[in-house]
């Protein structure tokens, strides 16, 4: 959520930062326009109410003086009654305007950091670096590899739950489990994260705190008879572990890793990646979350991204790091790096991790604050990133490890997590 005081203090600068996301963010009828109107309305109502309250105080004194002198105060009493009625009416209007203002604030995206590159679409994202040597030979798609090996069962997934669900069998199921443990061990034992295990269901307050509600309600699975949702990522419960808390600055940064299943309706992706496991309604992911100070937010982003990169390097998967441009960055993000793994069957890089700094945006929404010694509480900065999406990692392993005889080589670093398995054979 944007800073209310900054909205008034730095209106032009904030509007310019938001306008970099696109004209629809600040144009006529936009949430920004509504917020500006409601803020002006609030201030008008407050000014009128304060003026009338001062008048009421003056009239009350006048009534007291007249009564003390034995004079008729009926006219003043009638005038005060009218003022009191108007003040009560203004209080109700102000309360309504505040509720509308607060609701409109939740629909405004995070102003972008100055360093975010300008662009009109994902083609304008900026490549920062590459690692590894991409395969350029002909490699089958992961769905063919997995079907031939008898380890990916798309028909069973569709029968059990519908499209965009997959049943993993044998070596694939073990790989999924092994990858989860491998990633968690790497982050907890070598990168210094505290591992947490969190619910896969979150209430509306929690979803609002990290920005999934109200903006992305159509992408969420809502429980029919409860005000709760299946989580789309561990970012939601892990960040909100500190909801409405005041942390001591000396405790920061807090760094957590967590495995969770994730659930997304993919409402806006009709016709995209309909085959295979790239875009599923249910998938597994290991998430990295930082709670830190605003001054550390961008340096922490570099650190968090490097931790996600370490997983890809350990698994010998070629990838590139790109910085998202103004038109492709997420609603809550201030600055984002995507890690894109090489898929030989498509001869292109595909996203496998998104690492973002949110500045104080989520801290304000979720009430996550910190206090320097002797200072006042202020919103904490938050970051998160996939470390990694397990299903997409499995896809990348199948394609990059595929061999001409139809088998798939397992990277050495992963073998202890899959019972010493070196090769998956037909």
Q: What is the pLDDT of residue 387?
A: 97
Q: Is residue 112 part of a domain?
A: no
Which entry of 49, 333, 354, 357 is annotated as an active-site residue?
A: 354
If pLDDT is split at 50, 70 and 90, which confidence band does 401 have? very high
Same domain (yes/no): 158, 284: yes
Same domain (yes/no): 88, 201: no
pLDDT at 351 over 90: yes
Q: What is the pLDDT of residue 7?
A: 83
If pLDDT is split at 50, 70 and 90, which confidence band does 125 have? very high
| 269 or 224, which is more confident | 224
Q: Is residue 114 part of a domain?
A: no
Q: What is the pLDDT of residue 123?
A: 96
pLDDT at 78 over 80: no
Same domain (yes/no): 419, 333: yes
Query: What average pLDDT does the structure give for the chain?
Result: 93
Same domain (yes/no): 87, 197: no
Q: Is residue 50 part of a domain?
A: yes
Q: Is 48 annotated as contributing to ligand binding?
A: no
pLDDT at 48 over 90: no
If pLDDT is split at 50, 70 and 90, which confidence band does 23 have? low
Same domain (yes/no): 126, 74: no
pLDDT at 367 over 80: yes
Same domain (yes/no): 247, 161: yes
Q: What is the pLDDT of residue 270?
A: 67
Residue that terminates a domain, selected from 82, 106, 130: 106
Q: Is residue 193 part of a domain?
A: yes
If pLDDT is split at 50, 70 and 90, which confidence band does 72 have? confident
Q: Is 287 annotated as contributing to ligand binding?
A: yes
pLDDT at 420 over 90: yes
If pLDDT is split at 50, 70 and 90, which confidence band does 212 have? very high
Same domain (yes/no): 101, 193: no
Catalytic, 269? Answer: no
Catalytic, 392? Answer: yes
Same domain (yes/no): 166, 44: no
pLDDT tens sequence across 295-323? 999 999 999 999 999 999 999 999 999 99
Which entry of 41, 174, 279, 350 is annotated as an active-site residue?
A: 279
CATH of the domain at 52: 1.10.287.40
Residue that terminates a domain, selected from 47, 82, 106: 106
Q: Is 305 annotated as contributing to ligand binding?
A: no
Q: Is residue 215 part of a domain?
A: yes
Domain coverage including residue 21: 4-106
Contact between residue 255 and residue 121 where contact means Cβ atoms under 8 Å apart: no
Which entry of 20, 264, 364, 365 is annotated as an active-site residue?
A: 264
Out of 186-195, 271-280, 332-341, 361-370, which region has the weakest mean confidence (pLDDT)?
Answer: 271-280
pTM of the predicted model as reported, rounded to 2 decimal places? 0.91
Q: Is residue 115 part of a domain?
A: no
Catalytic, 4? Answer: no
Residue that terminates a domain, selected from 40, 74, 106: 106
Summarize the confidence of residues 337-344 as an average pLDDT: 98
Q: Is 353 annotated as contributing to ligand binding?
A: yes
Same domain (yes/no): 301, 246: yes
Same domain (yes/no): 214, 275: yes
Kindly state the percentage of the chain with pLDDT values over 90. 72
Same domain (yes/no): 87, 200: no
Catalytic, 351? Answer: yes
Q: What is the pLDDT of residue 232?
A: 97
pLDDT tens sequence across 138-191? 999 999 999 999 999 999 999 999 999 999 999 999 999 999 999 999 999 999
CATH of the domain at 332: 3.30.930.10
If pLDDT is split at 50, 70 and 90, which confidence band does 392 have? very high
Q: Is 56 annotated as contributing to ligand binding?
A: no
pLDDT at 261 over 70: yes
Catalytic, 37? Answer: no
Q: Is residue 131 part of a domain?
A: yes
Residues 6+ apart with CB under 8 A from 109: 18, 21, 25, 331, 332
Summarize the confidence of residues 229-252 as an average pLDDT: 98
Q: What is the pLDDT of residue 112?
A: 95
Same domain (yes/no): 289, 205: yes
């Amino acid at each position: 959520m944007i800073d209310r005081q900054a909205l008034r203090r730095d209106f032009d600068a904030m509007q310019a930062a938001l306008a970099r996301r696109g004209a629809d963010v600040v144009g006529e009828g936009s949430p920004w326009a509504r917020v500006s109107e409601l803020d002006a309305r609030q201030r008008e109502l407050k000014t009128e109410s304060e003026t009338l309250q001062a008048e009421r105080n003056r009239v009350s004194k006048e009534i007291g003086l007249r009564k003390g002198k034995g004079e008729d105060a009926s006219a003043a009493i009638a005038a005060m009654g009218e003022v009191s009625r108007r003040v009560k009416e203004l209080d109700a209007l102000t309360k309504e305007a505040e509720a509308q203002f607060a609701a409109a604030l939740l629909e405004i995206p995070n102003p972008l950091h100055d360093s975010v590159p300008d662009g009109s679409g994902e083609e304008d994202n900026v490549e920062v670096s590459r690692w590894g040597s991409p395969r350029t030979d002909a490699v089958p798609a992961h769905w063919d590899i997995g079907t031939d090996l008898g380890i990916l069962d798309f028909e069973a997934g569709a029968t059990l739950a519908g499209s965009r669900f997959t049943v993993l069998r044998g070596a694939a199921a073990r790989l999924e489990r092994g990858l989860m443990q491998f990633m968690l061990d790497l982050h907890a034992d070598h990168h210094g994260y505290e591992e947490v295990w969190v619910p896969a269901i979150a209430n509306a307050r929690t979803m609002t705190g990290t920005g999934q509600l109200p903006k992305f309600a159509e992408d969420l699975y809502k429980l029919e008879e409860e005000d709760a949702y299946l989580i789309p990522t561990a970012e939601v419960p892990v960040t909100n572990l500190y909801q409405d808390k005041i942390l001591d600055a000396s405790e920061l940064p807090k760094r957590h890793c967590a495995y969770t299943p994730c659930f997304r309706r993919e409402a806006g992706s009709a016709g995209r990646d309909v085959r295979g496991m790239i875009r599923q309604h249910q998938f597994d992911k290991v998430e990295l979350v930082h709670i830190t100070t605003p001054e550390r937010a961008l340096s922490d982003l570099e650190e968090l991204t490097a931790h996600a990169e370490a997983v890809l390097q350990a698994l010998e998967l070629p990838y590139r790091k790109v910085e998202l441009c103004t038109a492709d960055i997420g609603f809550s993000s201030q600055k984002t790096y995507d890690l894109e793994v090489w898929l030989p069957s498509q001869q292109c890089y595909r996203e496998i991790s998104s690492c973002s700094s949110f500045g104080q945006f989520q801290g304000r929404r979720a009430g996550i604050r910190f206090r320097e010694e002797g200072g006042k509480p202020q919103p904490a900065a938050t970051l998160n990133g996939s470390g990694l999406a397990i299903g997409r990692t499995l896809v990348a392993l199948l394609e990059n490890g595929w061999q001409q005889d139809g088998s798939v080589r397992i990277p050495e670093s992963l073998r202890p997590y899959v019972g010493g398995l070196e090769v998956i054979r037909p």
